[in-house]
Amino acid sequence: MTSDGTAGASRPCTSLTGRDAPWTALRNALLAAPAGGRALWLRGEVGIGRTALLDQAVSFAAERGMGVLRAAGSAAESGMALGVLRRLIRPLTDRYDVLTAAQRRCLEGALDTAADTHPAGPALAAATLALLSGIADEQPLLLAVDDLQWVDAPSAGVLAFVQRRLGAAPVVLVCAVRAEGSSALDSTGAEILDLAPLTDAESAAVLRRRRPDLTAKARARQVREAAGNPLALLGGPARPEHVHRTAHGPAPADPSPDDRLEHDFGLRLDALPPRSRFLLLLHALAGHEERSTRLALEAADAAGSPASEDTLVAAERSGLVRLHHARMTFLHPLVRTCLVRTASAADLRRAHAALAAVLPRDDERRAAHLAAAVAGTDDDVAAHLEEVARRTIRRGGHPEAATLLERAARLSARPGTRGARLTAAANAAAIGGQPAVAARLLADAEADGVPARSRPLWELTDAYVRLESDGDLSPAVTRLRALLAGPRPPSPTADDTVRDTVRFLLHLTAVFSDEPVLRDALRTQLSRSGPVARLCLDLWNRPAGPGPGGTRRLRRLVAVPAPEEELGEAWRLLWIAAALDSVGEHTRLWHRVVQRAPYLTQAHVRLATCGDDYLRGRWDRCLTDSRQGAHTAREQGCGFHEHLFRLTEAAVHAARGRRAEAEALLERTESWARTRGQSYVLRRIAGIRAVHALASGDDETAYALAASLTPPGTFPPQEPRFQQVFLDLVEAAVRTGRRAEALRHIAAGHEIRMGDIGPRHAFVLAAAEAMAAEGEDVHTLSEAAYAVPGAEAWPFELARLHLRHGAWLRLAHRPEEARAHLLTAHTHFTRLKAEPWARTAAAELRAGGTVVARARPTEVWRLSPQELRIARLVASGLSNGQIAEQLKVSPRTVGTHLYKIFPKVNVASRAALAHAVREAYDR
Report whether pLDDT(528) > 90. no
Tell me the pLDDT tens digit for each residue of 840-889.
Answer: 999 999 998 887 755 455 445 677 778 888 988 988 888 888 898 888 88
643, 672 contact by CB (below 8 A): yes
pLDDT the model gives residue 253: 40
pLDDT given at position 108: 85
Kind of pairing, strands 141-146 and 67-72? parallel
Cα–Cα dist 341/353, whole Å: 18
Q: What was the pLDDT predicted at 77?
A: 65
Are residues 467 and 612 both part of a single domain? no
295, part of any domain:
yes
Instruction: Indicate which CATH number applies to the domain containing 144.
Output: 3.40.50.300
Alpha-carbon distance values, 747 to 376, 538, 712, 743, 752 (Å) = 72, 22, 10, 6, 9
For residue 555, is it within any domain? no
Same domain, 344 and 390: no
Number of H helices, E strands in the chain: 46, 8
| CATH classification at residue 877 | 1.10.10.10
800 pLDDT higher than 80: yes
- For every residue of 567-624, DSSP letters joined together read HHHHHHHHHHHHHTT-GGGGHHHHHHHHHHS-HHHHHHHHHHHHHHHHHTT-HHHHHH
Mean pLDDT, residues 466-477: 92
Angle of the 531-541 helix axis to the 516-524 helix axis, nearest 10: 150
CA–CA separation, 739 and 734 (whole Å):
5
The letter for the amino acid at 414 is: R
* Pairing outcome for strands 327-330 and 321-324: antiparallel
CB neighbour burial string for 74-113, b if at least 16 within 10 angstroms, e if fewer: bbebbeeebbbbbbbbebbeebbebbeeebbebbebbeee
- 641 and 578 within one domain: yes
Number of structural domains, the chain?
A: 5
Check: CB of residue 249 under 8 Å from CB of residue 43: no
Same domain, 353 and 467: no
Letter string b/e over residues 557-580, b meaning 16 or more CB atoms within 10 A of that residue's CB: bbeebeeeebbebbbbbbbbbbbb
Average predicted confidence (pLDDT) for the chain: 85
Residue 324 located in a structural domain: yes
Residues 347 and 440 in one domain: no
Asked if residues 765 and 746 have their Cβ atoms less than 8 Å apart, the reply is yes
Domain span at residue 79 reads 2-196
Whether residue 909 lies inside any domain: the answer is yes
Q: Helix, strand or coil for residue 67?
A: strand
Give dist(CA 578, CA 387) in Å, integer. Answer: 35
pLDDT of amino acid 564: 59
User: Can you give the pLDDT at residue 4?
Assistant: 44
Cβ–Cβ < 8 Å for 709, 687:
yes
- 363 and 380 share a domain? no
- 350 and 394 co-located in one domain: no
DSSP label of 775 = T
CA distance 802 to 804: 6
User: What secondary structure does DSSP assign to 295-356, as a single string?
Assistant: HHHHHHHHTT----HHHHHHHHHTTSEEEETTEEEESSHHHHHHHHHHS-HHHHHHHHHHHH
Amino acid, res. 81: A
Query: One-letter amino acid identity for 48?
Result: I
Residues 357 and 382 grouped into a single domain: no
Return the number of other C-beta atoms located less than 10 Å from residue 167's C-beta: 10
d(CA 682, CA 676): 11
* d(C-alpha 129, C-alpha 170), whole Å: 11
* pLDDT tens profile 12-60: 333 578 898 899 999 989 988 887 889 999 998 878 889 889 999 999 9
Instruction: Return the percentage of the chain with pLDDT > 70, whole number.
Output: 88
Rounded Cα gap, residues 5 and 18, in angstroms: 28
- Specify which residues 141 forms β-bridges with: 67, 171
- Residue 309 — pLDDT band, cuts 50, 70, 90? confident
Beta bridge partners of 330: 321
Residues 253 and 274 in one domain: yes
Q: Which helix (H) or strand (E) holds 146?
A: strand 141-146
Neighbours of 441 (CB within 10 A): 27
Angstrom distance (rounded) from CA 398 to CA 375:
25
Does 142 reside within a domain? yes
Q: Which of 334, 343, 224 is nearest to 279 (CA)?
A: 343
d(CA 26, CA 72): 18
Given a cut of 60, whether residue 586 has pLDDT beyond it is yes
Q: For residue 242, what pLDDT is reported? A: 31
For residue 784, being part of any structural domain is answered with: no
Q: CB neighbours of 158 closer than 8 A, spacing ≥ 6?
A: 85, 121, 124, 125, 128
**Do residue 183 and residue 318 come from a single domain?**
no
How wide is the angle at C-alpha 135 spanned by C-alphas 131 and 141, nearest 5°? 105
Per-residue burial over 807-818, b = 16 or more CB atoms within 10 Å of its CB, e = otherwise: bbbbeeebeeeb
State the average pLDDT over residues 339-358. 93
User: CA-CA-CA-CA torsion for 296, 298, 299, 300, nearest 10 degrees?
Assistant: 90
Q: How many CB atoms lie within 10 A of CB 910?
A: 17
Residue 288 scores a pLDDT above 80: no
The answer to whether position 683 is within a domain reads: no
For residues 551 and 181, what is the distance between their CA atoms, to the nearest angstrom?
62
Domain boundary among 658, 677, 708: 658
CA torsion sign for 150, 10, 203, 398 is negative
Structural domain contains residue 830: no
229, pLDDT greater than 70: yes
pLDDT at 245: 32
Distance CA 497, CA 492 (A): 11
- Alpha helices, H only, 471-541: 474-485, 496-513, 516-524, 531-541
Angle at 574 between CA 568 and CA 642, to 5 degrees: 105
User: ∠ CA(361), CA(365), CA(366), 5° rounding?
Assistant: 40
Q: Which residues contact 678 (CB under 8 A, 6 or more apart)?
A: 471, 473, 512, 513, 672
Q: Are residues 169 and 131 in the same domain?
A: yes
- Place 336 in a pLDDT band, splitting at 50, 70 and 90: confident
Residue 79, pLDDT score? 65
Burial of 189: CB neighbours in 10 Å, binned 0-12, 13-18, 19+: middle
Which of 631, 658, 685 finishes a domain?
Answer: 658
- State the average pLDDT over residues 452-458: 92
Residue 244 has pLDDT above 60, yes or no: no
Q: Residue 246: is its pLDDT beyond 70?
A: no
Rounded to whole angstroms, what are the CA distances from 78 to 153, 253, 472?
8, 12, 55
Separation CA 557–CA 554 (nearest Å): 5
DSSP for 671-686 reads HHHHTTT-HHHHHHHH
Predicted pLDDT at 258: 53
- Distances, alpha carbon 32 to alpha carbons 170, 171, 836, 896, in Å: 8, 10, 38, 13
* pLDDT higher than threshold 70 for residue 104: yes
Q: Given this model, what pLDDT does residue 544 score?
A: 67
Contact 630, 646 (CB under 8 A): yes
Return the closest-CA partner of residue 262 out of 335, 210, 164. Answer: 335
Of 639, 658, 677, at which residue does a domain stop? 658
The answer to whether the CB of 617 falls within 8 A of the CB of 832 is: yes
- H helical segments located in 117-271: 121-136, 153-163, 200-210, 216-226, 230-233, 257-270
User: Has residue 247 got a pLDDT over 70?
Assistant: no
* Chain segment 484-506, per-residue pLDDT in tens: 876 655 444 345 788 888 888 98
Range 362-383 average pLDDT = 88
Instruction: Indicate whether 252 and 141 sit together in one domain.
Output: no
CA 707 to chain centre: 36
Number of C-beta neighbours around residue 530 at 10 A: 11
* Cα separation, 69 vs 171, whole angstroms: 11
